[in-house]
Structure 1
Amino acid sequence: MSLKFKVIAGFFMSFSIVLGACSGNAKSEKTAMNESFVPGELWYDADSVHINAHGGGVLYHEGTYYWFGEHKTSGRGGNTSLLGLRCYSSDDLYNWKNEGIALASVDDPESEITHGCVMERPKVIYNETTKQFVMWFHLELKGQGYAAARTGLAVSDKVTGPYTFVKSSRVNANVWPIEATTEMKNCSGETKHDWWTQEWRKEVNKGLFVARDLDSGQMSRDMTLFVDDDGTAYHIHSAEENLTLHIAELTPDYKDFTGKWTRVAPGGHNEAPALFKYKGKYYMIASGCTGWDPNEARILVADSIWGPWEYKGNPCKGKDANLTFHSQSTFVLPVAGKENAFIFMGDRWRPRNPIDGRYVWLPITFEDDQPAIEWHKQWDLSVFNSEI
């Protein structure tokens, strides 16, 4: 082989390796026939490819589970969206088929979802009236870091997509929360105090950032969706510079906001909300704010989705519970056909190589109606057989 040919061949071999890493389609010798969950280990789809659905959520529809998540790529730029949001399907939760990109980022610099934007934490719900699948996700505009703090909407008539991008915005512009006081409404949205001082924290709790963002709409970063027993849907998101969670009611078609919303744990510095309902009570798992590094989970409980919400400590038990087993909450998955059976879905972020992020799925048990999450090196759905 000539030196020139060796150089050319080496170039194409290197290019192929890089392309494989970016697409997430590098094959493994491992056979994807799973009969249990192994949290934190590589999880392969039916094509023996590492599942690429980070920050995800799961929809159960007509006997099948659909997992939507962020398609990550390799390297430090892998948290920006170069392809879009991916979908997988499963009938047993152990084995997943790649259904492709559900919502694609586009090669159009004028589009809000152009290649290089940030598309995170997609959640999909089904509207029984319109017969449409409705996706909301966290959107950051290309080149703006995390300053935009918007929520994006996409819809499809087919569960696996393709989804059509409709719009993005901040949330509930020019609408005060249901608990707004006269003091909050009279706030200028500006402070004379240094951030993180006691005086500044008091202003935050009273609605400093609510007032600041009133005209533009409230910030929306980490987010999830929840559909209640009566079919009413809610958009739950981290707002006010990640200091306060907001719960916003969606319109009956799930494609807009009604204007009814509330603040949860003002100034509590919560993100990564995951909401579920157990025995008539509402539970929300969240995390603290430490960037890509794990921290201690916290759980809040309320008798009404509108609150008041009360902290109930860390639901995680055992070794590394203070780090949520090196993960961060993204969703709580109700197991179909099993009463009061829920799976905690978490992500282990790998910011230096995002495509290598891992999934931590663990069963949620209940002790005196208090949710508990314990580490299992390996487990299967039989753990719920006694949870009836």
Structure 2
Amino acid sequence: MRTSITPGQVWLDTDGKRIHAHGGSILEIDGTFYWYGENKERSAPGSGIWHWGVRCYSSSDLYNWTDRGLIIPPEPDDPASPLHPATSMDRPHILRHPDTGRYVCWIKVMSPVGQRSTVLVADDILGPYRVVRQDFKPLGMNAGDFDLVLDPTDGKGYHYFERVHSELICADLTPDLTDVTGYYSTHFPLVQPPYVREAPAYFTRDGLHYLVTSGTTGYYPNPSMVAVAPSYHGPWRELNDPHPDDPTRSSYQSQISCVFRHPHKQDLYIALADRWLPRYGASSEAAVAMHAERFRPMGGHKPGPWSELTEIDTSIADYVWLPFRFEGERAILDWHDEWRIEDYA
């Protein structure tokens, strides 16, 4: 029985198995927390398996998680399916429609012809889900890492996504949350990876809208960035790396997938992050030098030898969950070997 959160340590479910809910998020429904994400349990090197569906866990305390199974199973018998385990399916995000109660899940799939989106719906958080929109390009764009946002006052939805490898887009969702309307805004235009922002994670606090993003370096960690704006569509103002005390500039060897505001605490915002490569020694002198080289000013950038650093085995990826601390507008993530939700009012 767990009584605390220990960032970076192996996290087991109530059956003693490694938790696989990567690149996902948390929903609270009728007092129960549901944590869902990519199931990487079969994604060992050489397996040819990128994912094995979307898995969900439930909890009453955010510490102890019960496996609720594959809410969106893979489709191994259909190579053309976006859910085929060899496809690069990433970052499921689910919204609950405020009027119908229906659950709407978006996923992205990296394919040989570009990045595509697929939308599924279900009447229950645990499924079954059915595809209602498949292999499409929102706004005609290749949509990469993304987040979905629902305004709590009017129920309007927003889709933040990386327009692959150029800028970040905020697009209004249709009333049923399964498509974009055509109205959008563009943000953080940059020339190339690793500077292009991806992995947007949205939250709002004290009337400000926040986005936390990472650079574009594949599974290898890099510095995150916090920006604030007066509205969903900006304009966004860059503030800070939320990990200022991390000398490796690797976001504590992790990438944030979402920010979860605890519904029963006054001011507890939790950054949920994946440590995709737990064997990657980001604290070593070599890693520090590599990060300094990779993120030198534009014009002096040289690609780092990423493929030589470590074997990419996402089947053993871990999690780094940390609470935000705020200094005025600045959102900061201090390192904690262990922390407890009960310590927050």
TM above 0.5, yes or no, is yes
The interval holding the TM-score normalised by the smaller chain is: 0.7 to 0.9
SS of 1:60's equivalent in the other structure is strand
Residues 8-66 of structure 1: CA distance to partner in whole angstroms, max 9, x if unpaired?
xxxxxxxxxxxxxxxxxxxxxxxxx1111000110010111000111111111111111
Equivalent residue in structure 1 for 2:60, among 69, 72, 91: 91
Structure 1 segment 135-214 matched on structure 2, within 5 A = 135-141=105-111, 144=112, 147-173=113-139
Asked whether the 8 Å contact 1:78–1:353 carries over to 2, the reply is no
Distance 1:243 1:167, change over 3 A: same
Q: In the aligned structure 1, how far is the partner of 2:167 from the partner of 2:46?
A: 28
SS of 1:293's equivalent in the other structure is coil
Which entry has the higher C-alpha Rg, 1 or 2? 1
CA-based RMSD of the aligned residues comes to: 1.7
Distance 1:338 1:155, change over 3 A: same
Give 1:251 shift: 1.1
Q: In the aligned structure 1, how far is the partner of 2:48 from the partner of 2:97?
A: 30
Identify, as 1 or 2, the structure richer in strand. Answer: 2
Give 1:75 shift: 2.1
TM-score by length of 1: 0.75
Matched, 1:218 2:141: yes
Matched, 1:378 2:330: no
Equivalent residue in structure 2 for 1:327, among 254, 257, 261: 254
Q: In the aligned structure 1, how far is the partner of 2:46 from the partner of 2:271?
A: 28
Equivalent pairs counted in the alignment come to 305
Q: In the aligned structure 2, how far is the partner of 1:82 from the partner of 1:317?
A: 33
Residues 74-128 of structure 1: CA distance to partner in whole angstroms, max 9, x if unpaired?
4225684452111111111111111111111212123232231121111111012
Asked whether the 8 Å contact 1:80–1:119 carries over to 2, the reply is no
Q: What stretches of structure 2 of length at least 5 have no aligned partner? A: 278-310
Letter in 2 for 1:301: V
Letter in 1 for 2:263: A
Equivalent residue in structure 1 for 2:175, among 252, 257, 278: 252
Asked whether the 8 Å contact 1:81–1:105 carries over to 2, the reply is no
Q: In the aligned structure 1, how far is the partner of 2:81 from the partner of 2:201?
A: 29
Equivalent residue in structure 2 for 1:368, among 302, 322, 328: 328
Letter in 1 for 2:119: L
Structure 1 segment 1-388 matched on structure 2, within 5 A = 33-72=1-40, 73-77=42-46, 80-106=49-75, 107-141=77-111, 144=112, 147-173=113-139, 217-230=140-153, 231-239=155-163, 241-267=164-190, 269-320=196-247, 322-350=249-277, 352-385=312-345
Distance 1:321 1:252, change over 3 A: farther
Give 1:167 shift: 2.1
Identify, as 1 or 2, the structure richer in helix. Answer: 1
Asked whether the 8 Å contact 1:54–1:69 carries over to 2, the reply is yes
Letter in 1 for 2:90: E
Aligned-pair identity (%):
35
Give 1:321 shift: 6.3
Asked whether the 8 Å contact 1:342–1:364 carries over to 2, the reply is yes
Letter in 2 for 1:124: I
Asked whether the 8 Å contact 2:51–2:89 carries over to 1, the reply is no
Asked whether the 8 Å contact 1:155–1:164 carries over to 2, the reply is yes
Letter in 2 for 1:305: Y
TM-score by length of 2: 0.84
Q: In the aligned structure 2, how far is the partner of 1:328 from the partner of 1:63?
A: 28
Q: In the aligned structure 2, how far is the partner of 1:279 from the partner of 1:255?
A: 29
Q: What stretches of structure 1 of length at least 5 have no aligned partner? A: 1-32, 174-216
Q: In the aligned structure 1, how far is the partner of 2:205 from the partner of 2:325?
A: 11
Give 1:354 shift: 1.0
